[in-house]
């Protein structure tokens, strides 16, 4: 039977404020699943025009799928969020790109016609569940020299990237990190971050009750001089520090993804249209280069060039991997198209949840920049992968027209 693929749209995304991982963090005694359930409930609250029974799938990512991040989290979170027991759900693990994969998975199902509306997201409580907790890597991956031992340490892979690209100096990385902090501070001052946040009630046996309303990791006032003397934990006299990397973070995200037809039927807003997506593998030892071939592949699929991309939301796991991406595509370190609200170096990076943060921020930037037609969300992924998703801005005058008409033109 002939089959026509459906157009897929991003309706709404939200996230919790991100917290510092550990006993001193604001989510130290808050369950991981409760964080993502808060996001899902907020999505339903913001969209009363969406009957809960119309949500046909829930995909929730977590990198460490044990404890309160285990037990088929998508299904359990769906029930806790108040969705009917007829709504199925599942869990995803693609490390840092978990939520990104959750979105592209449900988008593929929608495009194929197996469902019309889904919720996708991710959660990581790195305070409760440190990266690598209870894992047992097969020793053959090292003993048979399938990968170098450094491939199993994301910080070590960032140092390897410095080795491969000497032009990516520590000074450039520190300057980029300071700019990320400054951009996030400015975005908060201009009210650009707050609309995406879900207030979370917290409880602590010693500190009592509280409300999480803003991100905890940012360090306003950071200077290059502050960062210059930080220790390099992954290598003596290295270049990767806590200042030019994303810190250990707790947090969750969720979004509504729908077919364009279902969104029109129910009156759901269309904040972005999915154009293309790609996941690729790279050498695990330099996993930070992953967004480069992933973006190249997605651009080929869409019939676009990097010149067509008017806004970029790149996950800042490490400053060095962002700079590797920018250098490859001939983009300046301070290009205003890149991470307008700052990035994970300032905001934090709760691993599997971050992909939807990128998408939510891109959608808000689309509203403010109707002259931009296409945007990109991209990230590096542990064990040597990269992911990239290209989106179209519904506020652009050419929205929905044939993509070939703009091929090679500036966005």
User: Does residue 349 carry a catalytic annotation?
Assistant: yes
pLDDT at position 404 is 58
From first to last of its 411 residues, the chain has per-residue pLDDT tens of: 777 899 999 999 999 999 999 999 999 999 999 999 999 999 999 999 999 999 999 999 999 999 999 999 999 999 999 999 999 999 999 999 999 999 999 999 999 999 999 999 999 999 999 988 888 999 999 999 999 999 999 999 999 999 999 999 999 999 999 999 999 999 999 999 999 999 999 999 988 999 999 999 999 999 999 999 999 999 999 999 999 999 999 999 999 999 999 999 999 999 999 999 999 999 999 999 999 999 999 999 999 999 999 999 999 999 999 999 999 999 999 999 999 999 999 999 999 999 999 999 999 999 999 999 999 999 999 999 999 999 999 999 999 888 654 444 433
- Angle separating helix axes 154-164 and 319-328, nearest 10 degrees: 40
Please give the residue range of the domain that contains residue 366.
140-190+274-392
Token pair, residue 128, equals 């409760």
pLDDT at position 207 is 84
Token pair, residue 292, equals 């480069």
Report which DSSP code applies to 367.
H
Residue 259 within any structural domain of the chain: no
Q: Compute how many other C-beta atoms are within 10 angstroms of the C-beta atom of residue 75.
A: 18
Residue 145 within any structural domain of the chain: yes
Burial status of residue 135 (CB atoms within 10 A of its CB: 0-12, 13-18, 19 or more): exposed
Global pTM reads: 0.96
Q: Where are the alpha helices (DSSP H) in 1-56?
A: 32-46
Residue 299 within any structural domain of the chain: yes
- In order of 46, 125, 251, the CA distances from 121 in angstroms are 16, 14, 11
SS3 of residue 73 by DSSP: helix
Residue 260 within any structural domain of the chain: no
Residue 21 within any structural domain of the chain: no
CATH number of the domain that 162 lies in?
3.40.47.10
Catalytic choice (39, 96, 115, 173) = 96
DSSP sequence for 157-224: HHHHHHHH-TTS-HHHHHHHHHHHHHHHHHHHHTTSSGGGB--EEEEETTTEEEEE-S-SS--TT--H
How many domains does the chain contain in total?
A: 1
Residue 359 within any structural domain of the chain: yes
The rounded distance, in Å, linking the Cα atoms of 278 and 301 is 9
User: Does residue 173 carry a catalytic annotation?
Assistant: no
Catalytic choice (125, 162, 349, 396) = 349
Residue 109 within any structural domain of the chain: no
Catalytic choice (39, 162, 380, 396) = 380
Residue 246 within any structural domain of the chain: no
- Do residues 288 and 254 make contact, with C-beta atoms less than 8 angstroms apart? no
């Amino acid at each position: 039977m002939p089959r026509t693929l459906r157009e897929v749209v991003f309706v709404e995304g939200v996230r919790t404020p991100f917290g510092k991982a550990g006993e001193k963090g604001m989510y130290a005694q808050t369950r991981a699943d409760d964080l993502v359930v808060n996001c899902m409930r907020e999505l339903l609250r913001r969209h009363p025009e969406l009957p809960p029974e119309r949500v046909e799938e829930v995909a929730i990512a977590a990198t460490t799928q044990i404890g309160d991040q285990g037990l088929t989290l998508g299904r359990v979170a769906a029930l806790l969020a108040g969705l009917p027991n007829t709504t199925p759900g599942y869990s995803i693990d693609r490390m840092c790109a978990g939520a990104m994969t959750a979105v592209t998975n449900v988008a593929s199902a929608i495009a194929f016609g197996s469902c019309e509306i889904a919720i996708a997201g991710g959660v990581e409580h790195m305070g409760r569940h440190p990266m690598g907790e209870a894992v047992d890597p097969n020793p053959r991956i090292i003993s048979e020299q399938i990968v170098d031992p450094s491939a199993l340490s994301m910080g070590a892979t960032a140092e390897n990237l410095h080795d491969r690209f000497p032009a990516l100096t520590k000074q450039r990385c520190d300057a980029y990190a300071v700019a990320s902090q400054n951009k996030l501070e400015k975005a908060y001052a201009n009210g650009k971050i707050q609309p995406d946040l879900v207030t979370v009630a917290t409880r602590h046996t010693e500190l009592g009750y509280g409300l999480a309303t803003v991100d905890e990791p940012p360090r306003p006032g950071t200077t290059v001089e502050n960062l210059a003397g930080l220790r390099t934990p992954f290598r003596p006299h290295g270049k990767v520090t806590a200042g030019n990397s994303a810190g250990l973070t707790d947090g969750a995200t969720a979004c509504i993804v729908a077919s364009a037809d279902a969104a029109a039927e129910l009156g759901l807003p269309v904040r972005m249209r999915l154009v293309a997506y790609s996941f690729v593998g790279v050498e695990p030892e330099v996993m930070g280069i992953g967004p480069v071939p992933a973006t190249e592949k997605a651009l080929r699929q869409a019939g676009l060039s990097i010149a067509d991309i008017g806004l970029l939301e790149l996950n800042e796991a490490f400053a060095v991997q962002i700079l590797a991406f920018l250098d490859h595509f001939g983009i300046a370190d301070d290009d205003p198209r890149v991470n307008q609200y700052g990035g994970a170096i300032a905001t934090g990076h709760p691993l599997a949840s971050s992909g939807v943060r990128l998408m939510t921020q891109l959608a808000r930037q689309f509203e403010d920049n109707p002259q931009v037609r296409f945007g990109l969300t991209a990230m590096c992924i542990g064990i040597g992968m990269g992911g990239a998703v290209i989106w179209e801005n519904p506020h652009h005058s050419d929205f929905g027209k044939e993509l070939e008409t703009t091929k090679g033109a500036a966005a």
